[in-house]
Amino acid sequence: MSEACLRDAALRIVASPVLVDKLRAPARDLPDDERVLDALPLAPARSESLAIRPAKQARVPPLAGLADPSQRARIVHALANHELQAIELFAWALLAYPDAPDDFRRGLVSTLVDEQRHFVLYQECLAEQGVSFGDLAVSGYFWNKVALLSSPAHFVCAMCLTFENANLDHAEATEQAAIERGDERLVSALRVVHRDEVRHVAFGWRMLDAFKGDDETMWDAYCARMRWPLRPELARGRHFDAEARRRAGFDEAFITQLAGATRARR
């Protein structure tokens, strides 16, 4: 089906249940003049095998499980599922914030195209083991937060400065575990993801800087737009890579605050 504008491409990604439709990039130079939608979807359309299940049905083994083929498949399947949700949510943001500035919308498109490439890299890692995406249950960790994303600033705080920010640490830890297992395909996928993630986090940083009030620090602006259960400690992994945050353009005050954010025990 031909698409007349960026909104149509974004709607196809969110509202088609067909996986290949979600993996096709918006055509270059699509006009962005028609932005408004009658009804914003609050969940993605999915085929039966990719229906979002409760988290307890899609548990992810710890990284030590990479040594065991069936656990490796579950870990990589979960990584691919994160990419799929990112693809859909960056497309969703194009539908949700029609009044957002052009540079925000351009950044959404370029990030979503990267997420489509990341998904395929993990899909290839699964194929190596004879596993197809959808063979295992998927959860909806990112989509479950969609009601909290009430503005473009809330969106970048959650997606770019929390989930993608945490992935700066998680991707590195997973890469280290994959190196130890000699899993070259997964190592090279994770390196691409990590490199691109720095750029995605940097996009979130620049956008929050543009959206925030002049009298707010970046840290205060970030915390003010995070609603429970989102919180700063979710924006980092166990090992905190300060250098990756510097490459993403963070200021030292923000890095210090994030380095000190630790997970509350339940």
| 144-174 per-residue burial string, b: 16 or more CB within 10 A, e: under 16 | ebbebbeebbbbbbbbbbbbbbbbbbbbbeb
Q: Interface residues for Fe ion in 86-115 (CB under 5 A)?
A: 115
| Minimal distance, residue 39 CB to Fe ion, in Å | 27
DSSP designation for 5:
S
Asked if 164 is part of the footprint of Fe ion (rule: CB under 5 A), the reply reads: yes
Q: Give the residue with the Cβ less far from Fe ion, 163 or 240.
A: 163
Q: Give the residue with the Cβ less far from Fe ion, 46 or 200.
A: 200
From candidates 200, 212, 225, 236, binder to Fe ion by CB under 5 A? 200
Q: Give the residue with the Cβ less far from Fe ion, 173 or 224.
A: 173
Task: Report the distance separating Cα 217 and Cα 209, nearest Å.
Answer: 9
Asked if 175 is part of the footprint of Fe ion (rule: CB under 5 A), the reply reads: no
Q: Give the residue with the Cβ less far from Fe ion, 25 or 37.
A: 25
Among the listed ranges 42-50, 70-78, 130-138, 164-172, the one in contact with Fe ion (CB under 5 A) is 164-172
Q: Is the torsion defined by CA of 7, 205, 157, 167 positive or negative?
A: positive
Q: Give the residue with the Cβ less far from Fe ion, 164 or 241.
A: 164
| Minimal distance, residue 253 CB to Fe ion, in Å | 24
| Minimal distance, residue 145 CB to Fe ion, in Å | 15
3-state SS, residue 225: coil
Cα separations (Å) of 143 from 20, 31, 41, 89, 237? 19, 27, 11, 7, 20
Closest CA to 140 of 54, 258, 62, 224: 54
Name every residue whose Cβ is closer than 8 Å to that of residue 211 and which is 6 or more positions away in sequence.
151, 152, 153, 156, 221
Q: Give the residue with the Cβ less far from Fe ion, 35 or 206.
A: 206
Q: Interface residues for Fe ion in 113-152 (CB under 5 A)?
A: 115, 118
| Minimal distance, residue 201 CB to Fe ion, in Å | 8
Task: Write out the residues near Fe ion by the rule CB under 5 A.
Answer: 83, 115, 118, 164, 197, 200
